[in-house]
Amino acid sequence: MPKRRLWILVAVVFAEATFACESSSSGPECETSADCAGGLACLDGTCRAPSDSGMHRDAGLDAGSCAPGQLARAGGCVDECAHPDALGCEEGTVCDVGAGTCVASGTPGLLTGADVSCGTTTCRAGTECTVDEVCEAIPACGRVVCTDDGSVCWGRSCVFERPAGGCTPPTLERLNQDDFLLGGDGGAFDLEFDDACNAYVATMISGTDYLRQLAPDGMLTVWDGVTNLNMGEVAVLRAIGGEFGSDDDPGEVALTYVCCASCGCVGADPQGVARLDRAGEISLPMVVEATPSTGTAPWGSATLDTG
């Protein structure tokens, strides 16, 4: 074998052996934030504290040249105090996560909050963990920003100055009149509004219960419920991030039927969830029937929890 080829082979074998040795002794500390202790995030294979200002992704930029709350990136420093690698804010200031800058404590519209574990991700202020373990923006924030590896996310483009609504709900005086609020026993049990400023209540009274709608002009509309089954909660589908007046059409309404505390569940009438069908032959058709079970549910009340 020629001497030159022999030296190349030896060099390759030596390099591979050295790499194998280093890989076995200094592998990544973590792959995701789930591999780290509580409060730490996995960044570049290392578990770091969220406020760790000693490590930055851009090795070509002197981190010391960045101001508090800034992150070293290729081409310069950027305001991103919510990023785990950003320099910590100075004393007396806090990170406004929604804007990415350090501001004085008590600044109006300040977005702060504790980190929340969400599967392999950490949701910071401005986001919430979904049932699918994904960080999504809260209604006040327009989008989500995450670290390069997706291990930490936070809200951005957040608005906290609520615009004036485009409609006005019924007056407080009208809402408190008996035809909407009372009607026997406890009367109205739950209250909701839709995007068109209509008010809705479900009643809990002896005998037939009612779903009532009160329009902004004070006009009352009533739908009869199932006899001898109390209504529990009324809910209206609202547009996410929407404001009152954003929709002129009445809302999609649903309610729950629960058991009567004093008379039990009468006959074969099922408990569960019904929806309002304004044009149908049956105004409040049952869409989800509840299944009786034992144990303590969220309300801790057999009467209320049946719905």
**36-94: pLDDT as tens digits:** 665 444 444 545 444 333 333 433 445 557 899 999 887 789 999 999 999 999 999 99
pTM: 0.52
Task: Identify which has the larger pLDDT, 80 or 31.
Answer: 80
Mean pLDDT of the chain: 76
Taking residues 87-108, report their average pLDDT: 91
Contact between 58 and 72 under an 8 Å Cβ cutoff? The reply is: yes
In the β-sheet with 272-275, what is the strand arrangement from edge to edge?
230-236, 253-258, 272-275, 286-289
Two tokens, residue 233: 């909660």
More confident residue, 114 or 8: 114
Look at residue 124 in the predicted model and tell me its pLDDT: 95
